[in-house]
Structure 1
Amino acid sequence: MVGNLNHIIDQVVKDKGIARGVLVEALESAVLSAANKKYRNTRDLEAHFNQEIGEVEVFEFVTVVDEVVDSYKEIDLGEAKEVDPEVEVGDSLGMMLEASGFSRIAAQTAKQVIIQKVREAEREGVFNEFKDRIGEVVNGIVRRYERGDLIVDLGRAEALLPSREQVPRENYRQSDRVRAYISEVKMSTKGPQIILSRTHPGLLISLFKSEVPEVAEGIVEIKGAVREPGNRAKIAVVSHDVDVDPVGACVGMRGSRVQNVVTELRGERIDIIPWSPDTARFACAALAPAEVSRVYIDEDGKSLEVIVPDDQLSLAIGKKGQNVRLAAMLIGWKIDIKSETRAKEEEQEEVVPDNEVVSEAEENDTAVNVVENSGEDVVDEDQD
């Protein structure tokens, strides 16, 4: 405990990035813990860091009394006046102890407390740094695999890229560089956990922000983005400047901008769609490259019935329903796609039953009339 600690504190603050006050508090707590261990918690002790001499000083506090009952916590008035002539009965008197008198075990306890405090401060610092970075894209280096999850080194901290957040066809090896989206930051018993994602739609949006200046500046706004990671994605864009084409800005000269995003996503196909407040118009754009004939809207059920030419049906639905599924996710409405032929067949099916009902009703009316007439004839014959 002897020696100037200011240099050591400054060095730890510089290396670990910990606030000086936190480290000083840790030192005081460590020395106090060691002192209490030596004196078996029988005394009222306090530890204070003296910055001028660079040492942690330990003070024992006792109460001034006329007659001592507890020698560990009380002091006779006469003895107290030798320390402070102005002291009176009932006053609390603090006397500095020799810190060098602590045992080796006590010093070891102090060291452990300091290490623990430094570790806690480091964890808190990492958590505070990354909790405000949720939604950012970061670059890291793959360190190892743990049960299918990737441990990624971000510099100051290690992050986790869970298997569920990885694109199935992407493979990484140790020391590979990876670019991922910070989806969650939480504190656990083992310290801060930074969860990364390669499948989150936010990654797609962030990549376009970095590649397209108009998006970064807010001239072009990405209204929505949906993905089936590794296969296909759709983003809806709108321009707040009449002179800027939102789709063209995102595509770039000869497709250079969108191609950079596609390369980062390992070949994932991206459809860039002009957003519209008109749901029907937006749906037609979302189903591109398929052409749409008609759209029927059910506002209450949040559903759309889309009619497409027969030769466009498979294109509108997409491979395994991918195109219509992504379009529905992007719009937020249910989409039911039908071909022109199928729509006409359903219309005819709806009309035919109505005609049959009318015919049956007419036949029933005729039958009733016949029965009534024959009944009248019978009655007349009986009367005769």
Structure 2
Amino acid sequence: MAITSANQLELLQIADAVAREKMIDPALVIEAMEESLARAAKSRYGSEMDIRVSIDRKTGSPTFTRVRTVVEDELIENEKAEMTVAQARQYLDNPAIGDTFVEEVPPVDMGRIAAQSAKQVILQKVREAERDKQFEEYKDRVGTIINVAVKREEYGNVIVDLNPGEGSLRRNDKIGRESYRPGDRIRVYIKDVRREPRGPQVFLSRTANEFMAELFKMEVPEIYDGVIEIKAVARDPGSRAKIAVISYDNSIDPVGACVGMRGSRVQAVVNELQGEKIDIIPWNDDAATFLVNALQPAEVTKVVIDEDAERIEVVVPEEQLSLAIGRRGQNVRLASQLTGLDIDILTEEEESKRRQAEFEERTKLFMDTLDLDEFFAQLLVSEGFTNLEEVAYVEVDELLVIDGVDADTANELQARARDYIEAQNAKAMEAAREAGLQDDLATFEGLTPQMLQALTADGVTTLEEFATCADWELAGGWTIENGERKKDEGLLEPHGVSLEEAQDMIMTARVMLGWVTPEDALGQSEDGEEDAATPEEAGA
């Protein structure tokens, strides 16, 4: 089928019609046509030839050309599409490497097979253009809410019409008890847009925390204007949620603004989320105060925070325990998500038993190490002494405030404590030496004999081996394993070494060994960037 002048005009009309229908650039359709005609020409002239087609944008007239590129003699691979400089002199004046020779070739007749192939090329190009358009349209809309129509359900996943294209609301992104029918209109949150081999994929969600935050932004003008900020959201989708808000205007109550007149604002969000109960909580920079708010409606008696372990202990009255934990642990779980801390809830009785156990343990420590009777040991514990070091090196005046303790008794107490500590130090140092402790590590400032014993027991015997340790190997840390936080015990953690102290000691050791300069060590310490660098990585 030759392309006549009538057909040529029809080409432009078809391109324009397809572009309007698919809402893409007509130039993309014409480029697809050019590629399809070029393929047809290659099937006629030979697939090794570089045949190109150009369609005039005004007349629709196609021009078929053959292109040959000038390459070096030894690099020529395809004689149909390449030629040497000597060969090019027949066609070009002073040819150079990289020049091209273009000659027009007769147009080809489009047979049935060629026409079918051309159609497939055009359809493929149009689909690619549609996909690119969809990706460009939605990639900048991640994090927003859109209103879409349900098309169908596939294996529990809901496919929605994005016009153009489709989006996927996967099973775990649906609120549990929701069901949809084709044609239903729903609000969804655009969670992610990714390019994939099968085309751009738009992933939607109704369970994301951000979905709730965006709904409140739509219902509460103060949030949209930035007067009120949503600091954190925790959800059990379809059941219950907690949202923490703060107001930057003292005259506006953040909780009241989010609730609205007679609960109108929060109720609109609840209705959209199929009755999900929402606790609106005032944000507070003080972690303990914020947690007390987050555990509402339970009443909290006492809060103890362990910032290093990112854990928090909450003491509640016996009758408040079930309320604080919530059904199936829901209340404490959401409060933990909201604060970012692991929460242990104790009753007043449980906390009292634990304190009593600690009291008895410290009492026994002083009885065994200082050769004291139970009553005197209990006096020390009651005054706040928790270990031998505090007794040995505290100011004598702090011991004299204890009933029945005079200057002689205080001096005797400190002498006994120091003698015991020195004996333990000597024993620990001897064990470390037997395990292979070297002098360069033994004289390193900041490491006690007990710390040296712990290091050598783990095979760290030299300053170089110590310098290759990571901070978390010394001070301990937390890792996430299967969605749960797991404690990593540090070699020096039992001796009270913090992460910052471990970083400082490691960087000091690396400076002493010449692996890094003092300036580099200071910069890394300030950035908090510490890892188990080898001498080569550290610049040795």
TM over 0.5: yes
Query: Secondary structure of 1:22's partner?
Result: helix
1:234 is matched with 242
**8 Å Cα contact 1:208-1:215 kept in structure 2:** yes
2:285 is matched with 277
2:26 is matched with 20
2:257 is matched with 249
How far residue 211 of structure 1 moved from its aligned partner, in angstroms, is 0.9
Partners of 1:163 and 1:363 in 2: CA distance:
67
AA paired with 2:188?
A
**8 Å Cα contact 2:325-2:331 kept in structure 1:** yes
Partners of 1:223 and 1:203 in 2: CA distance:
14
1:369 is matched with none
Partners of 2:293 and 2:111 in 1: CA distance:
78
How far residue 127 of structure 1 moved from its aligned partner, in angstroms, is 1.9
**8 Å Cα contact 1:38-1:106 kept in structure 2:** no
How far residue 248 of structure 1 moved from its aligned partner, in angstroms, is 1.1
2:42 is matched with 36
TM-superposition CA deviations, 1:249-286 (whole Å, max 9, x none): 11111110000000010010101111111111111111
**2:8 pairs with 3, 23, 33, which one?**
3
Question: CA separation of 1:39/1:273 partners in 2, compared to 1, >3 Å: closer, same or farther?
Answer: same
Query: Secondary structure of 1:180's partner?
Result: strand
1:373 is matched with none
1:211 is matched with 219
2:124 is matched with 116
1:381 is matched with none
TM-superposition CA deviations, 1:52-79 (whole Å, max 9, x none): 212322124589xxxxxxxx899xxxxx
AA paired with 2:139?
K
Question: CA separation of 1:363/1:110 partners in 2, compared to 1, >3 Å: closer, same or farther?
Answer: closer
Query: Secondary structure of 1:132's partner?
Result: helix
TM-superposition CA deviations, 1:16-56 (whole Å, max 9, x none): 12223322221211111111112233654321121221232
- Residue 327 in 1 paired to residue 335 in 2? yes
Question: CA separation of 1:98/1:349 partners in 2, compared to 1, >3 Å: closer, same or farther?
Answer: closer
Partners of 2:263 and 2:294 in 1: CA distance:
20
Provide the aligned C-alpha RMSD in A: 2.7
- Residue 263 in 1 paired to residue 271 in 2? yes
Partners of 1:62 and 1:246 in 2: CA distance:
72
**8 Å Cα contact 2:22-2:130 kept in structure 1:** yes
- Residue 94 in 1 paired to residue 97 in 2? no
Question: CA separation of 1:43/1:331 partners in 2, compared to 1, >3 Å: closer, same or farther?
Answer: closer
Question: CA separation of 1:57/1:348 partners in 2, compared to 1, >3 Å: closer, same or farther?
Answer: same
Partners of 1:43 and 1:353 in 2: CA distance:
90
AA paired with 1:104?
R
**8 Å Cα contact 1:152-1:160 kept in structure 2:** yes
How many residue pairs were aligned? 344
TM-superposition CA deviations, 1:110-129 (whole Å, max 9, x none): 22111111111111211222
**1:167 pairs with 170, 175, 180, which one?**
175
Q: Which moved more, 1:339-348 or 1:324-333?
A: 339-348
Partners of 2:373 and 2:279 in 1: CA distance:
58
Normalising by structure 1, report the TM-score. Answer: 0.82
AA paired with 1:305?
E
How far residue 362 of structure 1 moved from its aligned partner, in angstroms, is 5.5
AA paired with 1:29?
E
How far residue 326 of structure 1 moved from its aligned partner, in angstroms, is 0.5
**8 Å Cα contact 2:367-2:373 kept in structure 1:** yes
Partners of 1:355 and 1:117 in 2: CA distance:
82
Structure 1 unmatched runs, 5+? 64-71, 75-87, 365-384
Normalising by structure 2, report the TM-score. Answer: 0.59
Partners of 1:249 and 1:49 in 2: CA distance:
62
Partners of 1:49 and 1:193 in 2: CA distance:
33
- Residue 149 in 1 paired to residue 154 in 2? no
Larger CA Rg, structure 1 vs 2: 1
**8 Å Cα contact 1:38-1:103 kept in structure 2:** no
State the identity as a percent: 46
How far residue 359 of structure 1 moved from its aligned partner, in angstroms, is 7.3
**8 Å Cα contact 2:63-2:104 kept in structure 1:** no
AA paired with 1:289?
P
**8 Å Cα contact 2:231-2:283 kept in structure 1:** yes
AA paired with 1:147?
Y
AA paired with 1:217?
D
How far residue 242 of structure 1 moved from its aligned partner, in angstroms, is 1.9
Structure 2 unmatched runs, 5+? 70-79, 83-88, 93-100, 375-540
AA paired with 1:47?
V
1:52 is matched with 58
